[in-house]
Structure 1
Amino acid sequence: MFQVSLQRVARYEREEVEEGLARLLESLGGMERYVKPGERVLIKPNLLSAKPPEAAVTTHPEVLRAVILAVQHAGGIALVGDSPGVGSGRRVAERSGMMRVIEETGAEFVPFEESATVGGTGTFREFELARPYLEADRLINLPKLKTHEMMTMTCCVKNLFGAVVGTRKAAWHLKAGADKELFARMLIEVYMLREPDLNIVDAVVAMEGDGPGSGDPCQVGLLMAGDNAVAVDQVAAEVAGIPKKLLYLESAARNMGLPGSRREEIAVAGADPATALARPLRLPHLSDVQFGLPRFLKNRLRHQFTSRPEVAPEKCELCGICVKACPPDAIRVQGGRLRFDYQRCIRCFCCRELCPHAALTLKDGFLLRLMKKSGRSL
């Protein structure tokens, strides 16, 4: 059985978070089970973009503080690192409040800038992952529970995509992002190259709606933890109330027979995931009903069965972030406004994910609109 622990933590008050973390880890054997004196422990939060803590885009700095202190109390050397979707890791850490915590606790910030090539063991033959991520003695995964327009939910396994440095993320979106099932498999193969020793989920305030970067904060009041990232994600999805058929990562994990992918092999300690929330998290805009279709039909009917990004001119400041972030180079600025090449667009929605002004909307294809209007269960 894989153990997953849930503890109620209502607010990001320092003492409350530290006490909640101690209770959370108690049923798992405490931090001392995962960290030995003198070990270099990489803590990998979610540093998606330069947003303040209250936006719920990044892991909250008080959760990071509590984990750093627990690692140090166990005798470990705390390192903090990630590669954001856009901008420098240091700037995102400063804007999100995490750099202040890193400096106050005496931890070391290790931006993911240099990569090393690692041989793959499945569909993909090799990956380039951040050296600090590969070289640390221990890895603690510290994601934020959020909805995600491409994968429906982002939590433990998806958070590890941050080990892919900078613009190499765009290359993976271009290589695998046009097919959600293939992209999910790629994410799992990244996870399998370096499975975290411990996963701790910040779900005190989660994100719902158009996550992971433009959704709305949602009070959940939980911390979650477990050794197995796949198992923790299973329980997180249960807490969020997300239907299994919309969980691409979890479905891929079951198809691959990964440990922790079956709910019956997971034991939950603490709060009941089925009653943790009064209502399910509000899901992202349904942008794709291609799952289950043969590949040749997906290619032919892609524009009709999917949503496409469009600009809201009154919000767009032509900052160019979406242009730089677009993996297939399908966006340009022309005539004082954004222009999209929808033949090249792979519907990865990196543009929406990273837009700091929430200036990109979605327009449904004809068949997708028709299915939504008919009320067909998807």
Structure 2
Amino acid sequence: MRHAVAIERAGDYQSDVVRPALDRLLEPFGGMASFVKPGERVLLKPNMLAAKEPERAVTTHPELLRQVIGLVREAGGIPLVGDSPGVGGIRRVAERSGILAVVEETGAEFIPFDETVTVRGKGLFREFQIARPYLEADRLINLPKLKTHEMMTMTCAVKNLFGAVVGAAKAGWHLKAGADRELFARMLLEIYLLRRPDLTIVDGILAMEGDGPGSGDPRLCGLLLAGTNPVAVDVIAAELAGIPKKLLWVERAAEKLGIEGWDRATIDTRGVPVDEAKVSPFRLPHISDVQFGLPRFLKNRLRHYLTSRPCGNPEACTLCGICRDACPPGAITIQDGKLAFDYHACIRCFCCRELCPEGALGVREGALLKMIKKCV
């Protein structure tokens, strides 16, 4: 089966730039009317990771959301906007990111993900607690942000669907699968298979490179992507950002599981040619781990030396406790007026760095990892 991914340019977030770009982007698919029928309730799922301003490139930009809401309305659909942020409460995140203002101005319905449904898994994991609105909407439009990710290397179409897991349950999944990138990638794919989006539109106008998804640097790319297969969309997004396949944990897991979209040879692009849309390679997160593929007994013995681990920056830390409360294994405490880490319990998911509002958590590399980096 072949998969289409469209690419278009949009140099900024002005409405008279974004709307025409979206029209061109969706033209190869027949426009929004091909995905939305009159009277259907259409859930728009942006990235609402944390309460950060739009210019920080942490969340899906509100202007892109505004224009997609308009397209859904023109097709006769009823737009809903929902997500479950990692920390901070949905309303605070929506206010700070500018998303709530757009929802109120457009009259869309704001749907916090606070009610769950137990869904039987279709693979390795037996069941998931998924937000009820995510499952019950007539249509689902995925609106991810193109960003680097300290654990998965890249977060885009597939990873954005982790937002269907509600609130504190995310920490539980990090604890269950987060110590192994391959296992975590498989979990993300199994969530995707529970409810496949009808359409994915990627906000790559202002992307993020470096230590994403919450502490990286904004990167102006001026791009929008769209497709019906999130795995294929991610493959093209990574190609445009210069991220090598060997670092794409989700796509590698998709290949092993035989989930369509991982094979570049099956993807046809539309709109701006790939070679013209490519940007200089993204600055990637630090190499945080070189232990995967080792036998378990070696992993356990060498883990401290072959991985990076979070550390506090006392000058920037306000001791707000967000990292402590968000840490899946409870490896962070506050002692004697500073953060203390239990590195034997730490699973290196970097949720603490991802969610810290002050950017007060750094990275300390193991001795063997430092030596290996000098040789690559």
TM-score by length of 1: 0.98
CA distance in 2, matches of 1:192, 1:260: 13
CA distance in 2, matches of 1:62, 1:75: 20
Judge which range, 143-152 or 356-365, deviates more.
356-365
The equivalent residue for 1:348 is: 349
Percentage identity across paired residues of the two chains: 67
**1:89-145 deviation line (CA, Å, top 9, x unaligned):** 111111100111111111000000111100001110000000000110000000000
The equivalent residue for 1:280 is: 281
Distance 1:25 1:307, change over 3 A: same
Contact 1:239 1:275 survives alignment (8 Å): no
**1:116-175 deviation line (CA, Å, top 9, x unaligned):** 100001110000000000110000000000000000000000000000000000000000
1:17 matched to 2:15? The reply is no
The equivalent residue for 1:366 is: 367
1:155 matched to 2:156? The reply is yes
Aligned partner of 1:236: which letter? A
Deviation at 1:367, TM superposition (A): 1.0
Deviation at 1:291, TM superposition (A): 2.5
1:86 matched to 2:96? The reply is no
**1:338-366 deviation line (CA, Å, top 9, x unaligned):** 00001100000000000011111111111
Deviation at 1:275, TM superposition (A): 3.8
Deviation at 1:271, TM superposition (A): 1.5
CA distance in 1, matches of 2:244, 2:5: 20
Aligned partner of 2:255: which letter? R
The equivalent residue for 2:302 is: 301
Q: Tell me the secondary structure at the aligned position of residue 147 of structure 2.
A: strand
Contact 1:238 1:274 survives alignment (8 Å): no
After superposing on structure 2, the runs of 4+ consecutive aligned residues of structure 1 that deviate more than 6 Å are none
**1:296-323 deviation line (CA, Å, top 9, x unaligned):** 3222211111001111111111011000
Aligned partner of 2:333: which letter? R
The equivalent residue for 2:175 is: 174
CA RMSD of aligned residues (A): 0.8
1:115 matched to 2:116? The reply is yes
The equivalent residue for 2:226 is: 225
CA distance in 2, matches of 1:197, 1:124: 24
Q: Tell me the secondary structure at the aligned position of residue 316 of structure 1.
A: coil
CA distance in 1, matches of 2:365, 2:26: 44
Judge which range, 274-283 or 163-172, deviates more.
274-283
The equivalent residue for 2:69 is: 68
The equivalent residue for 1:333 is: 334
> Which runs of structure 2 are paired with 1:201-212 in the superposition (5 Å)?
201-212=202-213
The equivalent residue for 2:60 is: 59
Contact 1:208 1:218 survives alignment (8 Å): yes
Contact 2:6 2:28 survives alignment (8 Å): yes
**1:37-82 deviation line (CA, Å, top 9, x unaligned):** 0000000000000000000000000000011000000000000000
Contact 1:209 1:283 survives alignment (8 Å): yes
Deviation at 1:249, TM superposition (A): 0.5
CA distance in 1, matches of 2:176, 2:373: 29
Aligned partner of 2:108: which letter? A
Unaligned runs of 5+ in 2: none
CA distance in 1, matches of 2:316, 2:281: 30
Deviation at 1:326, TM superposition (A): 0.2
Deviation at 1:26, TM superposition (A): 0.3
**1:248-301 deviation line (CA, Å, top 9, x unaligned):** 011001111111110000000012234423410110111001222223322221
Q: Tell me the secondary structure at the aligned position of residue 153 of structure 1.
A: strand
CA distance in 1, matches of 2:153, 2:350: 12
Contact 2:235 2:262 survives alignment (8 Å): yes
Contact 1:89 1:111 survives alignment (8 Å): yes
Distance 1:138 1:278, change over 3 A: closer
Contact 2:221 2:279 survives alignment (8 Å): no
Contact 2:143 2:200 survives alignment (8 Å): yes
